[in-house]
Amino acid sequence: MEKIGVGIITCNRPDFFRVCFNSLPLKGVDEIVVVNDGDDLPFDLHRGVLIKNENNLGVGKSKNKALRHLLDKGCEYIFLIEDDMIIKDHSVFDRYIIAHKESGIHHFNYGPGSPFNRKQSIQFDLHNRHLLDQHSAPNPKLIIEYNTAKVVLYEHTVAMFSFFTRESLETAGLIDEDFYNAWEHVDHTYRIIKAGMHPPFWWFADIADSWMYLTEAPGAIDNSSIANKTEQWEKNVYGGREIYLKKHGHYPNQPPYVSEDEVISIIKVLKSKGKK
């Protein structure tokens, strides 16, 4: 049996967490783990395992705790969910698993979670994210159709809702804990790309119409404990960039260019590998 595991990461947002947890489709999910990186939760879990960090460890270390737990439980397919996500359609996990099996792609992230992946009326960068429209139409770069699944590729990646196969984690490893609340998910996805299990950088995979199955809690950006304009946020971002540079030889926004034709060729290779 191919076990499905779900990990939720939460930190000092009990109202968001409660809505997120209660939106889980418990039927068909084999293992659930919650990693709490903040204060005690005023909420009793009616299912799953709770891991409480004694001190704030950051999102990377917290996610690794969830990943290790679910791997130890024998899960073949693993979903990591941040506490500001809400599941709208209980078929969402099956949709991602089917997309993996048909495409050969081993890792997906919820693309519309980034306003950079939505149509905007203004030019944007990392510093004006809070001014962007989080409700405009998703704007994928490429759409790939399979028999019963459709995959879209976005220019940017976020890790609010992520899918991994066991194979991808065993091949590329877990999240690099040298990063603290910035770039760790970009580095992790890039390593999965380099392992030949995901399309190239700037072509980040998600299922089509994922916004119909998932949504971001209202006010999530304004209430973020990570992505805010504090001195610590600046330190995380710019310090993480230097770690990334040492690892990959370039900053996160400077990977080698890959054309659409090259991407399509790689997509075909991934599909052929998936059929083996």
Mean pLDDT by 10 residues, the chain (276 residues): 96 95 92 96 90 96 98 98 97 97 98 90 69 84 96 96 98 97 97 98 97 90 57 92 97 95 97 78
C-alpha to C-alpha distance for 4 and 122, rounded to whole angstroms: 40
| Buried-exposed string 171-202: b where 16+ CB fall within 10 A, e elsewhere | ebebbbeebbbbbbbbbbbbbbbeeebbbbbb
How many H helices and E strands in the chain?
7, 11
Phi/psi at 180 (5° precision): -130, 105
C-alpha to C-alpha distance for 237 and 228, rounded to whole angstroms: 11
Phi/psi at 205 (5° precision): -85, 140
Q: pLDDT at position 133, please?
A: 73
Strands 3-10 and 75-82: parallel
Q: Residue type for 70, please?
A: L
C-alpha to C-alpha distance for 173 and 191, rounded to whole angstroms: 8
Residue showing tokens 């900053």: 251
Q: pLDDT at position 223, please?
A: 55
Q: pLDDT at position 228, please?
A: 53
C-alpha to C-alpha distance for 8 and 85, rounded to whole angstroms: 10
Q: Which CATH architecture has domain 3-274?
A: Alpha-Beta Complex (3.90)
Q: pLDDT at position 232, please?
A: 87
Helix ranges, the chain (H): 14-22, 59-72, 92-103, 166-172, 184-194, 231-248, 260-274
Q: pLDDT at position 205, please?
A: 98
